[in-house]
Chain A
């Protein structure tokens, strides 16, 4: 995308301002007008977009004669040496799953047939080395090609030249262009480079709020291992089976104490605040006036004041949400200035109020998790429309 600045003049314009922008390449474009506002501030106008289509150029073909069997009679629909621009609506695209087609040097008859059928573009599913699952969309190495496709699998360039040759051959001999998938969202779980670059994926290390999700997942793995020992159905066939499993799943989830990732540790905090007050380690409260406010209002202020409550709803570790004792001491002193003997206890009551919504949120999340797990079991193993996977095991 490119930008253009227009010159300013002092005279008020009575006609629309024209800006000629020669566009010399296809692609996505965005434009906007920026101008000085009434108060001297710079204002950016609304963005507009336009796309310019690419020009796809392919070998021209002689017209097809449909009175004969075009598949075997190659006298019509011949590929010429002359290239011409094809309107985008004139693209007839065939998808080919490369792994079912043999090596590159065995593709000829498939390309020939596609060409005789009038296609002018082939979409190839990813041609790269596949990961453990064998799906072309689970790519092991984005920079090299699948050796099982290559006549010379040991080529130093990873097969690049062989692929180029094949695409050129398909175009020149059969009039076929080539499209392929670009898979940006994910990579194979056993990718060649993932070990050296684990930061490429999401983990609790780089995305702390995933920590409880991993803890829950571990609990589910453990439950899976123990299904037989616990006398639970390993091959659920009925809703009753699912209900039994559902209960076991809930129990397993409860054991993980995920609620700790949400709430503040009230007894601990109350003790620490009591100690801080007694030792006069008090950071004076500098925010809005607190005296006379209700416990609910104080809870709201505690949550909303920047820098006061740490890791509120961060879910990064058990009891990650906390307030420094000295800060809390200052807060509670400002809220109950003449009632030294109840200050720590009142702090506890404020935290209890803060925790109410957090416990609600926790309950909602684990209930959702349990229902999703059971729902997935139902779909994968029970429902007529589903895959009916059978036995539950580590896989």
Chain B
């Protein structure tokens, strides 16, 4: 979704983004419904935690894909799970919230070590250096 507030879940009430066709649909994916916490969807939380823990046993770090569309409390839980297995987990994230303040919120609550940005979004040297 363009210009979405990453701290608001656009699939959940009160967002009408789907009805208004504002969502850019990736036909090959199903958005996962985490709710407010593990009690809302226990199987999903356990499955995805296992996935993160398994990767943390083998890899030196994670790249959080689509971090700006992932609910913050989910990211925190999953990274914590990974760090319990590998305390020195390096965490980078694909994060463009459109607001430096919101970026900062994600960085400090997830403990992000670096951000992945698309270089071609920088049209000139000044914009490039701001990415």
Residues in chain A within 8 A of chain B (CB atoms): 25-30, 49-57, 88, 91, 121, 123, 126, 131-133, 135, 137-138, 142-143, 160, 163-164, 167, 177-189, 191, 193-194, 197, 199-202, 206-207, 209-210, 212-213, 216, 258, 313-315, 365, 368-369, 372-373, 376
Contact = CB atoms under 8 A, between A and B. Distances in A.
Contacts of B5: none
Contact of A54 (B28, B78, B88): B88
25 contacts: A27-B111, A29-B111, A50-B108, A54-B87, A56-B60, A88-B90, A133-B27, A142-B50, A143-B50, A180-B62, A182-B63, A184-B64, A184-B75, A184-B78, A186-B32, A188-B29, A193-B47, A197-B43, A197-B44, A213-B19, A216-B21, A258-B19, A368-B20, A369-B19, A372-B20
A194 B30 contact: yes
B89 A54 contact: yes
Contacts of B44: 197, 199-200
Contacts of B65: 126, 137, 181-185
A138 to B, nearest CB: 4
A189 B30 contact: yes
Nearest to B111: A28
Contacts of A53: 113
Nearest to A136: B65
Contacts of B59: 167, 178-180
Interface residues on B, range: 35 or more
A143 B18 CA distance: 30
Contacts of B62: 179-182
A199 B39 CA distance: 12
A187 B58 contact: no
A200 B26 contact: no
B128 interface: no
Contact of B58 (A133, A163, A314, A369): A163
Residue with the highest number of chain A CB atoms closer than 10 Å, among B82, B89, B107, B111: B111
A355 B129 CA distance: 51
